[in-house]
Amino acid sequence: AYLMFTSGSTGRPKGVAVSHRAIVNQICWLSETYDFDADDVVLFKTPPTFDVSLWELWVPTISGARLVVAAPDGHRDPAYLAETISAHAVTATSFVPSMLALFVQVVDSTRLASLRVVFVAGEAMPADLIGRFAAVSGAELHNLYGPTETAVHVTAGDTAGMDAARQVPIGRPVWNTVAHVLDRRLRPVPIGVAGELYIAGRQAARGYQGRSDLTADRFVADPFGTGTRLYRTGDL
């Protein structure tokens, strides 16, 4: 379906080949889970070089929602975003946590009356951000996780009641997806023991374009399935 380039931790761009069924699973899951319909207004503000832009574009397309396209570089300007949300009665949008932290510092709560759901992804979410967001908006705030290699998001969770937590959980797997926390020998670790996160299921990418060595290293045989693979995220 698409090839998305990411530098990851190496600085060398890698082309991630994502299948049609992977991104369709993501878009259908998000649209159904969060009840998008023709009454919604989605703010399309993420640059197309980032895969979050895909849900912002395609969820309104399949749900009949209205799409508001932000100005170039508008995603960097909290005041502009607040004005756009207010002017167009935006009901759904997304932020990385660091940008949401800046946004809640400058926004007037009267400008966010239309918002019903906000997604946060791309970075670890500080627990104190939950309360700061709640002080300016009554919208639901959901913490989502997903590397480029797993078609946007593969886990999600509502942050309600999490503001006193030491760490905000990344939630539960999306449709047709399994998350494993494993040791170096691909064995499940006990609860409370650190391990590496592996992802299996429909949203795992095909691999890296022209990088069979890297594909073999990061996409490994799934010991829990027949003929399936696990994506090794590198996240603990």
pLDDT single digits (tens) 208-234: 999 999 999 999 999 998 889 999 999
Determine the Cα–Cα distance for residues 174 and 94; give it in Å rounded to an integer: 17
The pTM is what?
A: 0.94
Residue pLDDT, tens place only, 8-28: 666 778 999 999 999 999 999
Long-range contacts of 154-158 (CB under 8 A, 24+ apart): 154/179, 154/199, 154/201, 154/203, 155/179, 156/33, 156/119
Write the CB contacts of 109 (distance below 8 Å, at least 6 apart in sequence): 135, 136, 137
> Where does the pLDDT of residue 166 fall: very low under 50, low under 70, confident under 90, or very high at 90 and above?
confident
- Quick: pLDDT tens for 35-84: 999 999 999 999 999 999 999 999 999 999 999 999 999 999 999 999 99
Mean pLDDT score, 170-179: 98
State residue 10's pLDDT score. Answer: 64
**What is the predicted pLDDT for the residue at 227?**
86
The H or E element that residue 55 is part of is helix 52-63
Among 42-56, 113-127, 153-167, 199-213, where is mean pLDDT lowest?
A: 153-167
What domains are there in the chain, each with its CATH number?
A: 2-232 (3.40.50.12780)
